[in-house]
Structure 1
Amino acid sequence: MNENEDNHYSDSYVFCSDCGKILITDRLGTRCTKCGERLPNKQISSKLEKEEVQIKNQPSKGNWEDFFPYLEIRPLQREISEAIFTKINKKPHFIIQAANGVGKTIAVLAALLLESKNKKKTIVYSCRTHQQMGRVISELKMIKQLKPVTGIALRGRKEICLHPIVQKFAVDAGNASDICRYLKEGGKCKYFNRLANKNVQIKLEEITKKQVIDGQELLDIGKSLEVCPFEITYDLLPKADVVACSYQYVFNPHIQTTFFNSLEKELKDVILIVDEAHNLPSTAIDVSSSTLSSYTVESAEKEAIKHRMGEIYDTLEALSHVLNIETKNLKVDEEKRIEATKFLAIVEKRAQNKIDEDLIKTLNKMGELAKKNLIQQNKAPFSYISSVARSLALLYNTKTRDDYAHFITKVQSRGGNPIPKLIVLSLDARNITKEIYDKVYASVSLSGTLEPINAYSEIIGLEKNKIVSLDLPSPYKKENHLTVVVDKVSSKLEDRIPANYLKIVDAIATVIENTPKNVGVFCASYTIMDGLLKHGLENRIARPVYIARRGMSSFDTDDLVDNFKDEARNSGGVLISVLGGRSSEGSDYPAEEMQSVIIIGIPYAKPSPSLDATIEYLEDQFPTKGREYGYNLPALTRASQAAGRPIRSLEDFGVIVLMDYRFARFYYKKHLPNWLKQNIVVVQPEEENLEKKMQSFYDYHK
């Protein structure tokens, strides 16, 4: 169950005695939507039973409302569903900017399911996180109470494979796929082999027929029958009305062909939904770019020697040598733009070997041989040669393209030694997105931060005459959140002086002292975070402090965030991190887990040749908009995303403090989402205004 479902029930229903959330029914009985506390079926509220009966017994309207599983349809949900349902055959691409808590997921699914069933289309709901996929499956299960609908959440092979070799050796999705392929080819996977058993097939059919199934349920089914959950998933894909999956299945060129083939659908028969769509442009850039380190190339050299692959050694040695020589005079984190054709020519001259498609095919072949040799030795089949082949292929294929730029740089390793790197950077998200959007039957892009919408549509390549855009007003009560801009403080480089840092520290301390529970402090950069800590920030905080430091692993960051959230049960804690990181965008902090959030500065990208190349290219493609699209908007989106971490549902309340005078200026303010601008005030840091605003807000919510 998710926030969308919570908000559909009135306060006359049964609530959890532990945490106060509404109790709902599922196939196992009655449970709490938040803490999971269960009660026997006999304790279900008669009013809740009555609502379910009323929903199921409503006469068919012959439209999207037949797929809406709640009695109450909120006005903004109706606006979303009506727009999609009535306009999809005229303008197939919908861009919807709406805040958390509106109930976007169910509104979109209800609007699309009748169309998809009538036209025999498959809805592909692409998400960033498993939590978002779970939300889709939860809503489908509610719809299934009204109408026959099937759905599945697609999890990666690495996450749900039962084979011990995959569990032990797989380091990423590609690696897991390689191990799986070799095991199946050699007949060494019992979980795959058991799928041929007729009795197993009959049981699978009984369990999965016409169902809505999430990733955990697939894993449980696989374990109980001792069959491969991933293969079950792919068997079910063609039968699913809705498939929830990560961006990678749709937009990664190395995966998407297999995925759509498994759907047994052409793109023209797919309705694509993209959740958290503000992330799509950067995802498209990432999957069409590559980075190759000298460490990888040197490891590939050793691999070639070990497996006696002399025919590729000279090229690998030359590539390593040239990369080290060309970066010799670079400082750590310094970038230099290069001409790819000249770089390749230098490598070819040293290797006395031409770099072309034939060489790349040979590298790929040698990489496959190396992986097979390793799997036969019960070792992880990871090949550095294959990694070099992928990057070298992209370098070779883009060497004369103006929508790509090529760089060398040097980065600090964890061991302390600088490592040279070769970067092949895509400058245009449309290289990945445009063909997909041109071919799909329809699409819906969802986000709370797509301001301005026309920028998003241009960057991903949507045709203007085929777009319907909805920029919905804030769904929140004005008294439930307050946005405070602290004037006369700045994170500009020239303003990073002791007096300014001390002023910001004072303001942060004021916010923390006047917030009952948890507070998040997100800085525009590590430089700013370090400056605040240097000027006594941690010493000014009389609560447990959790600092997400530079270089911290994702595991350690998640652990840090979990410990911070736990402080909400006590007297509150403080999380200090940077904008754009895992803790500021990858986590939600509902209710007391983060009551106040402080944004320090605007998280602009660090000036660099790659940033210059991006702005220059976008300026050429979208005259007068290059700097806005490539520099300003990404920074404001990151700030807005972090600002929204505490407000995840209609019931949440909190204070968002923007500490940089620029947030109050017209240009910056107009690019903030509607909900953030709804209740905004500007205060001076040296006055008592900030303290009074904080006290007044939280006194109201006592």
Structure 2
Amino acid sequence: YFLSKLLLKEVSIIVCNFQWLFNLDIKYRFLKLAGVDLGKCILIIDECHNIIELSCDVNSYKLVPYSLTACQNEMFAFGFPEIYSTFVAYLKNHLIRKKGQLKLGDTELNARSVLKNICVKLKLKSITEFRKFLMQLRAEYNDRIESSQDSSTQNIDSLVKFWLSWIKKYNSEKYYFCYNVSKGPSRTYIALEIVALDPRDITLSLFRNSYMSLNLSGTVNPQVFNHLTGLNWKKGGFLSINSPSPFKKNNILALITEGINTKNENRVPEMYIKIIAKIKEVLENTPANIGIFCASYKILNDLRMNGILAMVKQTGKRLFIESPKNSASDNANLLSQFKFASKHNGGVLLGVAGGRNSEGEDYPGDLMNAVIIIGIPYQYPTSRNQAKINYYNKAFNGQGWVFAYLYP
């Protein structure tokens, strides 16, 4: 790692993670280490369809009870004034109470009302006073923690950044404010979130300030990509090259099976038994390995509950099931065993569309002779998705559903 840092200033080509350029904090440090001006850089972005969601993610913020507990511990250890501990305790208790009241998923909230409630609790007259309160908290942090030997603690600084961002963005249509409640293996979690809806806040400055960018993808829709990233911000600002597929159409047999579907109301045992019967036909007529990719883990688990394991065993093939709980090494071992099975009776890889095994992995020849897609992996309809559709309708002349739901 340290050798790579030293070599940054000596090389002409740097291969890096998206985060190094799209995360603003990391970008600043990275360019400083490399000793380069972005205006003198040519950006080559492979799999560029991924930068749309990434740009929203790096511009979003989240506050959880765990980090607030860490703030409380730091404030106690370093002797912060009581008013700041009261502030953190109020936020933590509020989130814990909401966790017991809200249903799973997103619940939209009024961003201004949240600020007003905090002002009332802290006996502040205005949002401007709350901002001053946060700046004073940051000053206390700098004096008490940053100057100490334990300078790695950043929970309080992250808390201040979160609320300064909230104040800056609460009136903007580009952001969606919500509680998010999720279910883990053994407990329920809650987060207070600022969700960025417009990737152009990150991508546009990057494209404008670089010397040139080359964006590559085998799946992106150029029109959607150019609008969402801001490449079309000025006429003639980009050149689009659409290359034909290198694969001959007559090399691919694409079939659609009638009589089965994965609509919510049809996700019953009888339908899954029909789907498994159709899968069996493919398995019995395909040598070596086969991939099955479902629209969601819910469908994958429903197939498991309705007999796909026993059916695959009947065909003589070996079943390998993708799991979101697997570590990178566990998943690599799973794929290695699946590929090895092609030399024997064959293997069946059961995973999800858009997952780590359906994208970015090569299965030449007998490693995957057929692919079965079960369901179309549309995003689950949530208030967060609807907020993005509504915003895109305003930003892109009524194209919200197309840009925010259909193509992604």
Q: What is the TM-score with the length of structure 1 in the denominator?
A: 0.53
Instruction: Tell me if 1:614 matches 2:401.
Output: no
What SS class does the counterpart of residue 89 from structure 2 fall into? helix
What SS class does the counterpart of residue 253 from structure 2 fall into? strand
Q: Give the Å deviation of 1:492.
A: 1.8
Q: Give the Å deviation of 1:229.
A: 1.1
Q: Which residue of structure 2 lines up, in the alignment, with residue 474 of structure 1?
A: 245
Among 582, 586, 600, the alignment partner of 2:356 is 582
Gaps of 5+ in 1: 1-159, 161-227, 635-702
Q: Distance in 2 between matches of 1:470 and 1:250?
A: 24
Q: Which residue of structure 2 lines up, in the alignment, with residue 605 of structure 1?
A: 379
Q: Which residue of structure 1 lines up, in the alignment, with residue 228 of structure 2?
A: 459
Note closer, same or farther for the CA distance 1:317–1:480 as it changes in structure 2 (3 Å cut). same
1:585-634 alpha-carbon deviations (Å, 9 max, x no partner): 35333343333222111111111111110110011111231001111111
Q: Distance in 2 between matches of 1:233 and 1:286?
A: 30
Q: Give the Å deviation of 1:304.
A: 2.0
Q: Distance in 2 between matches of 1:571 and 1:394?
A: 57
1:182-221 counterparts in 2 under 5 A? none
Instruction: Tell me if 1:421 matches 2:196.
Output: no
Q: Give the Å deviation of 1:287.
A: 0.6
Which amino acid is 2:110 matched to? E
Among 340, 355, 377, the alignment partner of 2:130 is 355
What SS class does the counterpart of residue 56 from structure 2 fall into? helix
Which amino acid is 1:329 matched to? Q
Note closer, same or farther for the CA distance 1:352–1:241 as it changes in structure 2 (3 Å cut). same
Alpha-carbon contact 1:429-1:459 (below 8 Å) kept: yes
Alpha-carbon contact 2:99-2:189 (below 8 Å) kept: no
Q: Give the Å deviation of 1:244.
A: 1.7
Instruction: Tell me if 1:564 matches 2:338.
Output: yes
Q: Which residue of structure 1 lines up, in the alignment, with residue 407 of structure 2?
A: 633
Q: Which moved more, 1:606-615 or 1:382-391?
A: 382-391
Alpha-carbon contact 2:260-2:271 (below 8 Å) kept: yes
Q: Give the Å deviation of 1:528.
A: 1.3
Structure with higher Rg: it is 1
Instruction: Tell me if 1:234 matches 2:8.
Output: yes
What SS class does the counterpart of residue 244 from structure 1 fall into? coil
What SS class does the counterpart of residue 457 from structure 1 fall into? helix
Which amino acid is 2:56 matched to? I
Q: Which residue of structure 2 lines up, in the alignment, with residue 405 of structure 1?
A: 176
Q: What is the TM-score with the length of structure 2 in the denominator?
A: 0.88
What SS class does the counterpart of residue 507 from structure 1 fall into? helix
What SS class does the counterpart of residue 607 from structure 1 fall into? coil
1:251-307 alpha-carbon deviations (Å, 9 max, x no partner): 111111222334444333222211001111011011111222222212321232233
Note closer, same or farther for the CA distance 1:386–1:580 as it changes in structure 2 (3 Å cut). farther
Alpha-carbon contact 1:318-1:348 (below 8 Å) kept: no
Note closer, same or farther for the CA distance 1:364–1:461 as it changes in structure 2 (3 Å cut). farther
Note closer, same or farther for the CA distance 1:472–1:373 as it changes in structure 2 (3 Å cut). same
Q: Distance in 2 between matches of 1:442 and 1:348?
A: 46
Note closer, same or farther for the CA distance 1:632–1:547 as it changes in structure 2 (3 Å cut). same
1:664-701 alpha-carbon deviations (Å, 9 max, x no partner): xxxxxxxxxxxxxxxxxxxxxxxxxxxxxxxxxxxxxx
What SS class does the counterpart of residue 606 from structure 1 fall into? coil
Which amino acid is 1:399 matched to? Y
1:418-567 counterparts in 2 under 5 A? 418-451=188-221, 453-463=222-232, 464-542=235-313, 543-567=317-341
Q: Which residue of structure 2 lines up, in the alignment, with residue 322 of structure 1?
A: 94
Q: Which residue of structure 2 lines up, in the alignment, with residue 698 of structure 1?
A: none
Note closer, same or farther for the CA distance 1:361–1:474 as it changes in structure 2 (3 Å cut). farther
Note closer, same or farther for the CA distance 1:573–1:528 as it changes in structure 2 (3 Å cut). same
Size of the aligned set, in residue pairs, is: 398
Which amino acid is 1:475 matched to? P
Among 389, 394, 417, the alignment partner of 2:165 is 394
Q: Distance in 2 between matches of 1:371 and 1:397?
A: 25
Q: Give the Å deviation of 1:445.
A: 0.8
Which amino acid is 2:206 matched to? I
Q: Give the Å deviation of 1:530.
A: 1.9
| Larger RCO of the pair (alpha carbons < 8 Å, separation 6+) | 2
Q: Distance in 1 between matches of 2:154 and 2:343?
A: 47
Which amino acid is 1:599 matched to? I
What SS class does the counterpart of residue 391 from structure 1 fall into? helix
1:485-531 alpha-carbon deviations (Å, 9 max, x no partner): 22333222233233322221112222222222222211111221122
Q: Give the Å deviation of 1:371.
A: 7.3
What SS class does the counterpart of residue 431 from structure 1 fall into? helix
Q: Give the Å deviation of 1:395.
A: 2.1
1:458-479 alpha-carbon deviations (Å, 9 max, x no partner): 0100124222212211212445
1:47-68 alpha-carbon deviations (Å, 9 max, x no partner): xxxxxxxxxxxxxxxxxxxxxx
Q: Which residue of structure 1 lines up, in the alignment, with residue 115 of structure 2?
A: 344
Which amino acid is 2:57 matched to? D
Note closer, same or farther for the CA distance 1:349–1:487 as it changes in structure 2 (3 Å cut). same
Alpha-carbon contact 1:522-1:578 (below 8 Å) kept: yes
Note closer, same or farther for the CA distance 1:618–1:303 as it changes in structure 2 (3 Å cut). same
1:650-661 counterparts in 2 under 5 A? none
Gaps of 5+ in 2: none
Note closer, same or farther for the CA distance 1:436–1:365 as it changes in structure 2 (3 Å cut). farther
> Percent identical across equivalent pairs?
29
What SS class does the counterpart of residue 629 from structure 1 fall into? helix
Note closer, same or farther for the CA distance 1:352–1:593 as it changes in structure 2 (3 Å cut). farther
Q: Give the Å deviation of 1:391.
A: 2.8
Alpha-carbon contact 2:8-2:14 (below 8 Å) kept: no
1:186-335 counterparts in 2 under 5 A? 228-236=2-10, 240-310=11-81, 312-331=84-103, 333-335=104-106
Q: Distance in 2 between matches of 1:519 and 1:372?
A: 59
Which amino acid is 2:396 matched to? F
Which amino acid is 1:430 matched to? R
Note closer, same or farther for the CA distance 1:595–1:385 as it changes in structure 2 (3 Å cut). farther
Note closer, same or farther for the CA distance 1:369–1:494 as it changes in structure 2 (3 Å cut). same
1:17-63 alpha-carbon deviations (Å, 9 max, x no partner): xxxxxxxxxxxxxxxxxxxxxxxxxxxxxxxxxxxxxxxxxxxxxxx
Which amino acid is 2:134 matched to? L
Alpha-carbon contact 1:292-1:391 (below 8 Å) kept: yes
Q: Give the Å deviation of 1:364.
A: 7.9
What SS class does the counterpart of residue 521 from structure 1 fall into? strand
Note closer, same or farther for the CA distance 1:472–1:402 as it changes in structure 2 (3 Å cut). same
Q: Which moved more, 1:426-435 or 1:531-540?
A: 531-540
What SS class does the counterpart of residue 242 from structure 1 fall into? coil
Among 135, 138, 141, the alignment partner of 1:366 is 141
Note closer, same or farther for the CA distance 1:268–1:627 as it changes in structure 2 (3 Å cut). same
Q: CA RMSD in A?
A: 2.5
Q: Give the Å deviation of 1:551.
A: 4.0
Alpha-carbon contact 2:291-2:348 (below 8 Å) kept: yes
